[in-house]
């Protein structure tokens, strides 16, 4: 299990926490599993100069740190009064449901302080009463409602931070392992080359293995890992390199750009894991509708491209509408119903990739502006009004 300091840049994390403290005026701290404070910003004077400076009251602070793991079991975060009278709140920093550490926000009160209580505490621990009560006046008062909002933010913030950090760590390890494997493979090839006359069969087997590995690498290079659709690199290969933009009458070609409506709300409401499921399920549904030779490409985030060779705009428009209807009635795991907006454009005479993409993107933008859950065609202004490519398609398709 990685440590928190292994997957998160502590300097960046401290800077982010300082920005928060300067904006909100609330003390923050991050404690790792070894009970080492990785971040400690904005401690109130009443804590640093009194509670932690006195051996007897310091034991209360350490006791809270020791027991926080048990306190947090079974709950997202915990608001609790520390034994010295201030209010603190804590959440576990998790990776795969296992804690890497704990985020603290504290040294505040939910309501104006009970001065008699703190005066008695000053007497019990031998504090200078006037200085202690003066330090008490600097303690901020934070409502429980505000705490709930802040901890909702930090829960999602640290979930995202640890997930990205762990993914980066895994990627670095994979790169190192790939480099090591490449070096080993090169050594092996050199050894087999020297034995070529005695081991032709073995060399042939090795060549076959290398060819299979190359095909796998090439496949992965043009595949989106999450949705198992093609990626932008595949688009460049097919459209920019493989397709010569020439006479569109001889080689008609249409492009559909689609986007999930209000996808951010899905992630915010159900979490990114459910959002990923939605993207996977959407890809499976669309792949079940397209023809052999059509290409589904994840363009980025929740945006996809559908390349339709030998397809004119009057055919591409109804096909886009069919996809829209199928998605609208589909039930997505853990997320229910979603809708999509689609833009459609056809390749024109002498078109460039950028021009085609700009037109289809403009059509998608219009679909969103006109209320989403609809198809908008980018008609060719060079065609006559009676040309079928300028005909309005039934349903939610607009020009």
Residues with catalytic roles: 302
First-to-last CA distance in the chain? 55
Q: What is the DSSP string of 94-112?
A: EETTEEEEEEEEEEEBSSS
For 364, residues 6+ apart whose C-beta sits below 8 A from its C-beta are: 257, 258, 259, 341, 342, 343, 376
| Segment (H or E) for 305 | strand 303-309
Q: Are 334 and 367 in contact (CB under 8 A)?
A: no
**In angstroms, rounded to a whole number, what is the distance separating the alpha carbons of residues 260 and 168?**
27
Q: What is the DSSP string of 33-95?
A: TTS-EEEEE---HHIIIIITTSHHHHHHHHHHHHHHHHHTTTSS-EEEE-TTS-EEEEEEEEE
Q: What does the chain come to in residues?
A: 399
Helices 313-329, 272-287: crossing angle, 10 deg rounding: 130
Q: Which pairing describes strands 295-300 and 253-260: parallel, antiparallel, or unpaired?
A: unpaired
Quickly count: other Cβ atoms within 10 Å of residue 86's Cβ. 20
- In the chain, DSSP finds a helix count (H) and a strand count (E) of 13, 11
């Amino acid at each position: 299990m990685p440590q928190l300091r292994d997957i998160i840049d502590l300097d960046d994390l401290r800077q982010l926490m300082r920005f928060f403290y300067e904006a909100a005026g609330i003390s923050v701290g991050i404690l790792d599993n070894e009970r080492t404070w990785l971040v400690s910003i904005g401690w109130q004077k009443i804590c640093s100069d009194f509670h932690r400076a006195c051996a007897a009251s310091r034991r209360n602070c350490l006791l809270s740190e020791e027991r926080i793991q048990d306190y947090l079991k079974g709950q997202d975060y915990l608001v609790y009064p520390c034994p010295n009278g201030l209010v603190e709140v804590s959440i576990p920093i998790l990776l795969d449901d296992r804690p890497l550490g704990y985020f603290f926000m504290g040294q505040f009160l939910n309501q104006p302080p009970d001065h008699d209580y703190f005066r008695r505490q000053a007497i019990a621990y031998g504090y200078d009463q006037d200085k202690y009560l003066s330090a008490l006046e600097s303690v901020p008062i934070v409502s429980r409602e505000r705490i709930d909002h802040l901890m909702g933010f930090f829960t999602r913030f640290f979930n995202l931070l640890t997930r990205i950090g762990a993914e980066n760590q895994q990627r670095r390890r994979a790169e190192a392992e790939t480099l090591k494997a490449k070096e080993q493979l090169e050594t092996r090839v050199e050894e087999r080359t020297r034995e070529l006359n005695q081991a032709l069969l073995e060399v042939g087997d090795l060549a076959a293995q290398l060819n299979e590995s190359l095909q796998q690498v090439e496949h992965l290079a043009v595949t989106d890992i999450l949705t198992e659709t093609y990626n932008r690199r595949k688009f460049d290969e097919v459209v920019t390199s493989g397709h010569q933009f020439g006479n569109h009458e001889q080689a008609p070609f249409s492009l559909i750009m689609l986007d999930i409506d209000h996808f951010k709300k899905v992630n915010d409401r159900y979490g990114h894991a459910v959002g990923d499921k939605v993207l996977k399920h959407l890809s499976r549904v669309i792949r079940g509708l397209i023809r052999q030779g059509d290409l589904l490409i994840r363009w980025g985030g929740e945006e996809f491209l559908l390349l339709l060779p030998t397809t004119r705009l009057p055919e591409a428009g109804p096909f886009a509408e069919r996809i829209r209807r199928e998605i609208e009635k589909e039930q997505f795991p853990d997320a229910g119903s979603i809708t999509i907006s689609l833009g459609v454009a056809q390749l024109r005479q002498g078109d460039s990739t950028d021009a085609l993409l700009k037109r289809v993107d403009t059509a998608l933008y219009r679909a969103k502006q006109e209320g989403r859950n609809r198809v908008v065609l980018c008609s060719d202004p060079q065609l006559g009004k009676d040309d079928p490519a300028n005909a309005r398609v039934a349903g939610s398709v607009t020009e």
